[in-house]
Structure 1
Amino acid sequence: MLQGHGDDGYKYKQHIKANFSTNVWYGGYSEALKNHLIENWNAIDSYPEASAESFVHVLAKDLDVDPAMLMAVNGATEAFYLIAQCYNKKSSTIVIPTFSEYEDACNINKHELNFINWKELSSSSTFNSDLIWICNPNNPTGDVLQQKDLDILLKNHPNSIFVLDEAYIDFTDSISSSIDLIKKHQNLIIVKSLTKNFAIPGLRLGYLIANRALVQKIEFYKAPWTVNSLAIEAGKYLVQHKSEVLPPVKHYKSSTEKFIKNLSQIAGIKIHPTKTSYFLIELEKGDSTELKNYLISEFGILIRDAKNFRGLNSSYIRVATLSEEKNQLLIDALQKWSKLH
Structure 2
Amino acid sequence: MLHGHGDDGYQYKQAIVANFSSNVWFGGKSENLKQHLFDNWDTIHSYPEASAESLVDTLAICLNVNKNQIIATNGATEAFYLIAQCFSKSNSSIIIPTFSEYEDACRVNKHKLFYINWAELTSKTIFEEGLVWICNPNNPNGNILESDELEEMLKINSKSIFVIDEAYIDFTDEINSCIDLLDKYENFILVKSLTKNFSIPGLRLGYLISNKVLVQNIQFCKAPWTVNSLAIEAGKFLLANKTDFLPPVNYYKSETKKFQKNLQKISGLQIHPSKTSFFLVELEESSAFELKKFLISNFGILIRDAANFRGLNSCYFRLATQTKEKNQILIDALIQWSKLNT
2:120 is aligned with 1:123: no
Write the deviation string for residues 178-237 of structure 1: whole angstroms up to 9, x where unpaired: 000011100000100000000000000000000010100100000000000000000001
Counterpart of 2:65 in 1: which secondary structure? coil
**TM-score between the two structures when normalised by the length of structure 2:** 0.99
Equivalent residues in 2 for 1:218-237, closer than 5 Å: 218-237=218-237
User: In 2, distance between residues paired with 1:23 and 1:119?
Assistant: 22
Q: Structure 2: where are the runs of 5+ without partners? A: none
Partners of 1:84 and 1:109 within 8 A in 2 = yes
> TM-score, with normalisation over the residues of structure 1?
0.99
Q: What residue in structure 1 maps to residue 312 of structure 2?
A: 312
Distance 1:5 1:129 in 2: 30
2:187 equivalent to 1:187: yes
Does residue 112 of structure 1 match 2:90?
A: no
Q: Unaligned stretches of 5+ in structure 1?
A: none
| Partner residue, 2:255 | 255
Task: Report the CA distance between 1:45 and its aligned residue.
Answer: 1.1
Partner residue, 1:171: 171
Deviations 1:226-283 (A, max 9, x none): 0000000000011111011101111111011110011011111000000000000000
C-alpha contact (below 8 Å) 2:165/2:191 kept by paired residues: yes
| Greater CA drift, 22-31 or 62-71 | 22-31
SS in 2 for 1:279: strand
> Counterparts of 1:139 and 1:299 in 2: how far apart (Å)?
26
AA at the equivalent of 1:166: E
Amino acid at match of 1:32: N
Partner residue of 1:277? 277
Q: Secondary structure at the match of 2:224?
A: coil
Identity %: 66
Following superposition, the deviation at residue 2 of structure 1 comes to 4.7
Distance (Å, rounded) in 1 between the aligned partners of 2:28 and 2:292: 24
Instruction: Write the mapping of 1:134-149 to structure 2, written as runs, cut at 5 A.
Output: 134-149=134-149
Aligned to 2:294, the other structure's residue is in SS state helix
Query: Could you tell me which residue of structure 2 aligns to residue 53 of structure 1?
Result: 53
Q: Give runs of ≥4 in structure 1 deviating > 6 Å.
A: none
Residue 121 of structure 1, CA deviation: 1.0
Name the CA distance, whole Å, in 2 between partners of 1:214 and 1:83: 9
Count of matched residue pairs? 341
Q: Aligned-residue CA RMSD in angstroms? A: 0.6
Alignment check: 8 A CA contact 2:279 2:320 kept: yes
What amino acid maps onto 1:13 in structure 2?
Answer: K
Matched-pair contact (CA < 8 Å) for 2:28–2:245: no
1:279-298 aligned within 5 A: 279-298=279-298
Task: Give me the whole-angstrom Cα distance separating, in 2, the residues matched to 1:28 and 1:234.
Answer: 13
Question: The residue matched to 1:227 in structure 2 has which SS?
Answer: coil
